[in-house]
Structure 1
Amino acid sequence: MAIPSISQGVKAWGAAIKEDLRVEPSEADQRWSNKDLEPTPPERRVYHWYNYLLYFIGTGFNNWSGGSSVIGVGLGWKAAIAITFVANIIAGMAVAANCKAAARYHIGFPAIARSVYGMWGSSYQVGVRAILAAVWYATQIYSGASYLGVMLTAVFGTHFTSIPNHVPASIGYTTQDFLCYFLVWLIYLPLLLRRPHQMRWLFAVACALSFPSILALFIYCMVQSGGRISLDDQFGSSSATLSTTSQRTWQVVYALTSTISNGSPYIESIPDMARWAHSPLSPIPTTLFTNSVFNPLSAVLGILGTSALQVAIGQTLWTPWDVMTYMLEQHTSAAGRFGVFCLAFTWLFQTLSQNVSSNMIPFGADTSMLWPRYINMTRGYLIVHFLAWVICPWKIYASAETFLDFMGAYGIFMGPAISIMLCEYYVFSRGNLFVPSLYDGRGATNKHYWYTGGWNIQAYIAYIVAVGLCFIGFVNKVGATVPQVGVELGYLGWFLTFSTGWIVYYVVVKVWPHQNVQYTKNLKWEELAATDYGVQGVLHGVPSYPSDEEERQESEEGGIKSS
C-alpha cells in the first residue's frame, strides 16, 4: 500500500509543478496579459494588516549594517542614528504612498507602470527594475552563502575549513565558498513554485527569528566590551572629521540620500506585495510603523554593537557573518558552536525571506509583463534563479568596487520613476485607474493609456530632466572626475530626482495634458475602484473593449466609445 501512495504523491507533485509552470492565458490579448498580470482574485487577497506587520518586520528588522555608510563619511554615531531614523521614516512614507494603487486595485507594479508610462513606455521602467532585481537576487544568495559558511564551520570545524581549494585566485571565490553558494541556491528551489499568497508563513517565521537574531548579536557585542561604547573616540565626531559647516551639511545630505537610495528598489517594488492585500489599507499603517521603529532600530543596534565589539577587540567588524566568524574563533566548545550555528541560521533565513520578497517576486512580475505569452511568475522565478550563476556576485564583491558604487547610486533612476507614478495617481488620475485598458494593446480602442504610440511623452520628459540633473554625480560614482558642483548634485541624488520628477511632470501635464486627463478630471477620488475587476474579470463592463459586433466594427472605423 505504501508504494502506490508514494507514487500517487509523486504524480500529484509533478502535476502541481506542471500547472505552476503553465502560462495561463488571459481573457485579454495574450500579447499583453496573462493571469499573473490580471488583478488578484478575491480568494488570493490573504494579506491582512497583521500579515503585513509580520512581513515588514521579518524583511526589515535585520539592518545591522545600515549605519555603516553614515559613520564612514565621518559624521559620528549621533548623526548616524538621527539620519537612520529620518531616512527610514521618509522611505516609509514613500512605501506607504506607493502601496495605495496596488492595494486598491489589486494590481502589481508592471500594470501600474502602464497607466503612467504607456503600454510600450512602461517596458523600459519594468526592464530597469528587472535588471536591478536580478543583480541583487544573486548578491543576496552570496550573503546567504556567507551565513551557511559559518554554519558549516560550526558543525564540521577544520573538516570544512581545510577543504582544498581548486579555484583560481583570480575568481575571487574558493571551493568552500562555491559549495555554500550552491547549497543556498538549492534551498531556494521549493520557494520557486510558490506565489506570494502562499508565502505568509515564510515572512511570519522570518519575523519570529528576527528578534532573537539581532538581539543575540547585540548582547554578545555588549558583553564582550563590558557595556563600554566609545563611539566618539572609535568612529570620530563630526567636528573633528569635517572642518567647515558647508562640509558637514553636504555630508549629512549625502548620508541621508544614500541611505534612502539603498532602499529605493524596495520602494518601487512594494506594489507587487501590496496587490495581495485583503483591504486597501492593510499594508499602509504597518509600513509606516515598521519603517519608523523597527528598521532604524536594527541599524542603531548594529552601530552600537559594532562599536562595543571594536572597543573589546580593536577591530571593526561590520557584517554579521564576520562577527559570527570571530565568535567561532573565541568559543570552540560544542555549546558555543551550537549557539553560533543557530544564530547564523536565523540570519540566513531572514536573508532568504528578504530576497524572495524584494527581488524574486518583482523579477517574476516584471518578466511576466515583458513576455506575457511565454513567461508567468513561476517561470520568471526560475530565470532569475539560474541568472544567479551568470551574474557571478563573487566577482562583484571581489574586484568591482566601482560597480557597487554604481548600484548604490542607482537611486537617481528610481526616484523620478516613483515620484512620476505617485503624481499621476494622486493628482491627475485622482486615484482612478481604467483597469481593462491596462491590458489593451490597440491604439484605436485604448484611449486611456496608449498615449503617443504607446508612450507617455510627458512622463519621459519629466524622467529625463530629473535623471539628467544628477547624472553627472552618477558618473562621478562610477569613477569619472567631475567638477565639485557635479559631486554635490550627486550628493542630492534620490531627493533631487524624486522632487524634480514630480514637479516637472506636474508642470508639463498642466501645460500639455495627456489624453487621459479628460477622462479623470471630473471623477471623484477613486471612483472607479468601486468596480472590482478581480471578481468580475478584466473585460467585464469595459467600454474600451467592444462588447458586440457593432461596437467592434465602430472601433475599427475609428470611432471611440465613451467610457
Structure 2
Amino acid sequence: MSSDIVELEENLEDSPLYSEDLAPVPVAKRTWTMWNLAAIWVGMAVCIPTYILASYMIKSGLSWYAALIIIGLANLIITVPMVLNGHAGVKYGVPFPVLGRSAFGTKGIHIAAVVRGIVACGWFGVQTWIGGLAIYAIWNALFGTEASLGLDIGKFVGFGIFWLINVYFIWNGTDSIKWLEEFSAPILILIGILLISWGAYNAGGFKIVLDQSEQLERPEAVIVHEAEIDQYVLNLNPIRDRDGIIKASHFQLSIGEMASIGVDAERWTEIKPRALDILLKQFDPELNWEEVTNGEVQVNIQFRADGDDKFNFIYSSIVPVKIDSGKESGGGKLWSYIIWLTAMVGFWATMSLSIADITRYAATQKDQVKGQFIGLPGTMILFSFVGVFVTCAAVINFKDILIASDAPWDPVSLLAKFESPTVVIISQIFMLIATLSTNIAANVIAPANAFSNLFPKSLSFRGGGMVTAIIGIVICPWWLLNEISGILIFVSGLLGPVLGILLCDYFFINKKTLQLAELYKVNGIYSFGGSGFNKVAMLALVVGVVTAVIGYWVPQLYFLYNLSWFTGFLVSFVMYYFLMKRPDIQSA
C-alpha cells in the first residue's frame, strides 16, 4: 500500500459542505499508532454480544472449536475490507461521510451514511440499557434489595446514569474516546484471563472443561427412529458434572395437550445412566408416534435433581424434545458452516463502512493495517473462547444447571448464580467498562459524523453525538431489547452493497487518487453534474440490495438471502465497476 499522506491546501471554510469536524485531520494530529488502533478494537470487540457469539453455533450442533474457527475466519475476512476502506482515511484524513461523496455524490452519500447512523443509534440504545442494568445490579448488591423481573424506576435510573456517562465522552470528543479505549483494553484482556482461570480452577482443569463441552452441542432429548427394531426411541442427554456423573435423577414428558407440565411426582421417571435410550411406547402405547415425529403432536421434557433434602428439588426449564430427521449430509453441514460464516462476517459489517472515521487519525498505513489485524481477529477469537470456556465451566460447577438449554451463556445469567455481593459488584463494574468502550467507539463516532454531514455548518460532531444519544432513548430499548437486534442485523446486512461500491470506486475507478478539495465543493466533480447524486452508484446500490434480500420472499432464491452480505457486496461491486467504465452512463 502507498504510504503517502495528502493534506488540504485550499481554504474551503466558506463551503456549506465543510466544517471543522468533517475537515481532513491535519498531519500533525494524525498520531494514532498501531497499538492505539489495536486498543480501540479490543475495546469494541470485548462486549456481551462477542461473549455469547459462539453459543448460537454450539446450540445448533457445532463443536466449540468449529465455532471459534468460523469466528476467526469471518473476522479475518471482514478485516481485509476494513483495512482497504481504512486506506483513504489514513491518506486523506477524512471521515466516512466525506469519503463516500466520491462514489455516491455530495448528497447521495446521505442515504448510506444515515442508514449506517440509524443502525448505530439502535445499538447505542440497546448497549446503554444493558449498561444501565449493570448499574442497577450494583445498586441491588450494595443495598441488598431484590431485583425486579419487570421494568421499575431503578432500571430507568441506571439507564439514565449510564446514558450520562456516555454523553460525557461524546461531549469531550475523540481524544477522550482514545483515552477510554487505551484505559479499557488491558483491563478487558485481564478480565478474560481471570475468567478462564476461574473456570479451569473450579472445574478441575483446563482439559476437563473442554472435554465436557460436547454436552452443550447436543439437545437435552431427541426422538429417533431405530430402523432395526422399527421403534421410536427417546435419547436423553442431561448434563454431567466434572466426574462424568449425570446431575439429574428424574425426568418427565408431556405429550400433546399435556404440554404445560408441572411438578407431578406420579409422572417422574428415574434416569438410569446406563440406559439413556428409552422406547417411547412405554410412555403412551396408544399414541401414534409418527404424528409426533411429523410435528403434529408436541412433546416437552423437564428434568429434576435432588436438592439439599428430600423435600427440596432442583428443576430444569421445560423444553421441547427435538426430532431427529436423519443424518445431516456432508453438503448440508458445509452449507451450515457457510451460513454461519456469513452471519459472523455481518457482525462488524457496519464498522467496515465507517472505519475511515477512526483510521483518519492513524499516523501511517502500516499503523492502521497492523493495528486492525492485531486488534480485531485475535480479540474476537479470545473473548468468544472466554464465553465458551466459562459457560462450560459453569455448567460443570453449578449443581442447578441440569440441561444445556439452561447454560448461562450471557454474563448476566452467570453473575446471577453468585451469592457474594463483592463478586457481583466487581464483575458488573467490568461489564460497565466493556459496554462503555464498545458503545462509544462502535456506536457513536459513525452516527455523529453522519448526522454532522447532513448539516455541516450547524451540527458539529458533538451535536451529532447528542442526536445519537437522544435517538438511543427514543427507540425505547427497554421495550425492544429482544426484537431490535434482529431488525438491526437485517439492516446491517443491507450495507454490504455500500461497501462494495466504496471499495470499487476508490481502488478500481479512482486508483486511490481523490481530488481532496473537490469533496467539499457543492458544484465540484463529486456533485455529478450538480445533482449531488451519482446515478450509477444509486442503481448499483438498489440492485445489490434487492439481490441480497429477494430470497427472503422467494424461497427458490433463499440462498442469496443466507449469503446477503456477500451477495450484495459482489453484485454492487461488479455492477458499479462496469457501469462506471461506460462514459455515457458516467456522464449522465
Indicate the TM-score class for this superposition, using the shorter chain for normalisation: 0.7 to 0.9
The one-letter code sitting in structure 1 at the alignment partner of 2:565 is W
Q: Does structure 2 retain, via aligned residues, the 8 Å contact 1:206–1:353?
A: yes
- Could you tell me which residue of structure 2 aligns to residue 235 of structure 1? 217
SS in 1 for 2:328: coil
TM-score, length of structure 2 as denominator length: 0.74
Deviations 1:248-282 (CA, angstroms, capped at 9, x unpaired): 22221211111111211121121111111122332
CA distance in 1, matches of 2:462, 2:381: 33
**Distance in 2, Cα, partners of 1:214 & 1:110:** 35
One-letter amino acid matched to 1:185? W
Q: Give the residue type in structure 2 aligned to 1:488.
A: F
Structure 1 residues 448 and 409: CA distance shift in structure 2, 3 A: closer
Once residues 535 and 124 of structure 2 are traced to their aligned partners in structure 1, the CA distance between those partners, rounded to angstroms, is 32
Confirm or deny that 1:318 pairs with 2:428. no
Provide the C-alpha distance between the structure 2 equivalents of 1:363 and 1:307, rounded to a whole number of angstroms: 37
For residues 436 and 69 of structure 2, what CA distance do their matches in structure 1 show?
A: 29
Q: Counterpart of 2:491? A: 410
Q: Is the 8 A contact 2:580 2:586 kept in 1?
A: no
Q: Would the alpha carbon gap of residues 483 and 123 (structure 1) be closer, same or farther in structure 2, given more than 3 Å must change?
A: closer
Structure-1 residue corresponding to 2:565: 494
Pick aligned residue for 2:521 from 409, 429, 440: 440
How far does the alpha carbon of each residue in 1:487-510 deviate from its partner, in whole angstroms, 9 at most, with x for none? 322211111111222122112222
Retained in 2: the 8 A contact 1:28–1:440? no
Distance 1:91 1:425, change over 3 A: same
Superposition map of 1:2-401 within 5 A: 27-62=12-47, 63-158=50-145, 161=146, 173-227=151-205, 228-229=208-209, 230-236=212-218, 243-313=328-398, 314=401, 315-327=406-418, 329=419, 332=420, 337-397=421-481, 400=483
**Structure with greater Cα Rg:** 2
The answer on whether the counterparts of 1:38 and 1:107 sit within 8 Å (CA) in structure 2 is: yes
Q: Tell me, in whole angstroms, the C-alpha distance in 1 between the residues paired with 2:548 and 2:427.
A: 41
For 1:507, give the aligned amino acid: F
- How far does residue 450 in structure 1 lie from its aligned partner after superposition? 2.3
Go from structure 1 to structure 2 and tell me whether the alpha carbon gap of 1:73 and 1:511 turns closer, same or farther (over 3 Å shift): farther
Q: Aligned equivalents of 1:234 and 1:240: distance in 2?
A: 20
Q: Larger deviation: 239-248 or 279-288?
A: 239-248
* Higher strand fraction (1 or 2): 2
Indicate if the aligned counterparts of 2:103 and 2:505 stay in contact, CA closer than 8 A.
yes
What residue is the counterpart of 1:428 in the other structure? 509
| RMSD over aligned Cα atoms | 2.4
Query: Percent of aligned positions with the same letter in both sequences?
Result: 23
Task: Kindly provide the amino acid, as one letter, of the partner of residue 182 in structure 2.
Answer: A
| Number of aligned positions between the proteins | 462
TM-score computed with the length of structure 1 as normaliser? 0.77
For 2:131, the aligned partner's letter is: G
Q: Which amino acid is 1:281 matched to?
A: K
Aligned to 1:527: none
Structure 2 runs not aligned, ≥5 long: 1-10, 220-323
Q: CA deviation at 1:52?
A: 1.3
Q: Deviations over 1:206-264 (max 9, x none)?
A: 10211122222333333443343322222239x99962234322221211111111211
Q: Partners of 1:212 and 1:284 in 2: how far apart?
A: 25
Q: Distance in 1 between matches of 2:370 and 2:23?
A: 26
Instruction: Render the CA deviation track for 1:363-396: whole Å, top value 9, x for unaligned.
Output: 1111110111210001111122222221111111
**Any conservation in 1 of the 2:120–2:446 contact (CA below 8 Å)?**
yes
Q: In terms of mean alpha carbon deviation, does 448-457 or 93-102 score higher?
A: 448-457
Amino acid at match of 1:407: L
**1:264 alignment partner, SS class:** helix
Query: Cα offset for 1:45?
Result: 1.8
- Provide closer, same or farther for how the CA distance between residues 514 and 426 of structure 1 changes in structure 2, counting only shifts above 3 A: farther
